Amino acid sequence: MQHDLPGLDLSLFALDGERQMATDESIVFHNNPALPGSGVTGRFSQYEAQFSIDLAWLGNVERLMSTASHDEWPLKRAGRLRAEVAGLAFEPLSALQSEKAAMLLEFYRYRGEWRVAAVGQGFAGGLAELIALFGSEVAQPPHLRPHLPLPVPSPYPPPQRPPVSVLPTSVWSKWSASTSH
């Protein structure tokens, strides 16, 4: 996969038959260049990613989804975005507008055989929206997490109960006897 947009990330997601990630390690990208079990490895440079796929080592993986994403800019800003496999190329830019992430190619098992399909579906919400589709979420650093508002103190003091005085039994008996007539 090649591009010419600085800061663009190219990734490959390992998914089950329902397009869900098994773990957070189900993504091959520049910070995680191999799947656990080494069914997929990636080599990354500033403008290119090359994925090596060993179908015999994929285990329960039913789908592989190649993606492109950018934290700030729409993918349309790229002059080139190209995914290629076995001499066939897919260039999705003409179908994208303001999307910050897109699914490019999907490799999937069908009746025991692997196939490939061009997808080209974009996501305006970027990588977080794409990861949510695959059943996970992007962890936010603590300084970006929303804070719950603190309760606002009331300008009025809380109501006070009048003090309770305990009358000695002898006084209570006299009062009770005098009011019962």
pLDDT above 60: residue 98: yes
Q: Mind listing the pLDDT tens digit for each residue in 138-169?
A: 776 544 445 555 555 555 555 555 554 444 54
Residue 13 lies in a domain: yes
% of the chain residues with pLDDT over 90: 61
Residue 6 lies in a domain: yes
CB atoms within 10 A of CB 112: 5
Task: List the 63-69 sheet strands across, edge first.
Answer: 27-28, 9-15, 63-69, 101-110, 113-123
Average predicted confidence (pLDDT) for the chain: 83
Q: How many Cα atoms sit within 13 Å of 124 on the Cβ side?
A: 2
Residue 156 lies in a domain: no
Residue 19 lies in a domain: yes
pLDDT band per the 50, 70, 90 thresholds, residue 123 = very high
Residue 165 lies in a domain: no
Residue 145 lies in a domain: no
Q: What is the pTM of this model?
A: 0.74
pLDDT above 60: residue 25: yes
Closest of 118, 113, 124 to residue 66, by C-alpha: 118
Range 42-63 average pLDDT: 93
Range 30-59 average pLDDT: 92
Q: Mind listing the pLDDT tens digit for each residue in 129-145?
A: 999 999 988 776 544 44
Q: How far apart are CA 34 and CA 100, in angstroms?
A: 24
The total number of structural domains that make up the chain: 1
Residue 29 lies in a domain: yes
Domain span at 108: 2-138
Closest of 53, 55, 50 to residue 11, by C-alpha: 50
CATH number at residue 44: 2.60.60.30
Residue 179 lies in a domain: no
